[in-house]
Amino acid sequence: MDKLILRELHFIARHGVLPIEHENSQHFSATLELELPLAAAGQHDRLDETIDYCAVQAVVRQIIEGSHRKLIETLAESVAAALLQAFPLLVAVTVEILKPRPPVDFQFAGVAVRIRRARPSAAS
């Protein structure tokens, strides 16, 4: 299946289980792999035969900058479900949510979760 990939969309939001994460905003990023047929768009050079990535970003922004979630797993599930609902051409989506600097007392490069969700008829 063809893929349209949006890498490292950046957001500032408040998500997490720690009290400080309710009080202070932190950085998040999302990388998306949108699985859909792209041949027609590539051959005809028509936006209506693909997915407008500005519209995708708006859906993701609404979720990540929206109401508080405790887990990035929940953010990823919410993003995947919203994208599958909003874009009928979308067959499946892989969502990676990264929290690069969680407020913990040890150093590491961040924490991420990656999920793939598909329409029931496309689950493979």
Query: What residues are annotated to the active site?
Result: 99
**H or E element that contains 43:** helix 39-44
Distance CA 45, CA 37 (A): 14
Distance CA 104, CA 111 (A): 11
Pairing mode of beta strands 26-35, 3-13: antiparallel
The residues facing 28 across adjacent strands are 11
